[in-house]
Amino acid sequence: MDKNSLRRADLVTSIILFSISVIGCIMSVGLLFNTISNGRKWFESAGLFPSIVCVLLGLCSISLYTKARNDGARFDFISVDKLKELVKSREFKVAAIIIALLGGYIFILMLPGKMYEVATFLYLFAFMIIFQKKTRKSIIKSLIVSVIATVLITFGFGQLAMVPLP
């Protein structure tokens, strides 16, 4: 990747990181106020460490943004034509599919009951089916691997490691 493209990527990355740090700060300060309102000391709060990390992340993102701007990066690469080209690209479609699968996996897990095993199986099976050739043999193999992986994950973490599963 050439320096100009790298600096443009730094601009976008710095804005995303700064947004994450602001959201994290808001949430962790909420935890701090919750701790204080419950009569405990501020330094006992679960929000103390995340707030420190978020402030440092914000400072790093500002530094990254400044460095990129000083090296000549501008937002001239954002245009309607480039966005249309991005949306049509294979990489964007793959990223959108992965995000949708992860979102579905997480929201299925939030349903009440023993949904962890079902969600894990469905996620693994869908992931394998979407990203491989769809032959009868590959579908059967994906089904078997998904079942075995789900059983091993559930047994390994739930029974052997005694990790509470969702």
pLDDT of residue 129 exceeding 60, the answer is yes
Over residues 143-156, the pLDDT tens digits come to 999 999 999 998 99
Give the residue carrying structure tokens 């996996």: 105
- Report the 10 Å Cβ neighbour count for 54: 21
Here the tokens at position 111 are: 């349903």
pLDDT of residue 1 exceeding 60, the answer is no
pLDDT of residue 51 exceeding 80, the answer is yes
Over residues 79-105, the pLDDT tens digits come to 778 778 778 888 888 889 999 999 888
Residue 11: closest CA among 87, 86, 78, 66: 66
Q: CA 83 to CA 103: how far, in whole Å? A: 23
Burial of residue 60 (CB within 10 Å: 0-12, 13-18, 19+) is middle
Which of 24-33, 70-79, 102-111, 115-124 comes out lowest in average pLDDT? 70-79
Task: Domain ranges for the chain, please list them.
Answer: 3-78, 83-160
pLDDT of residue 27 exceeding 80, the answer is yes
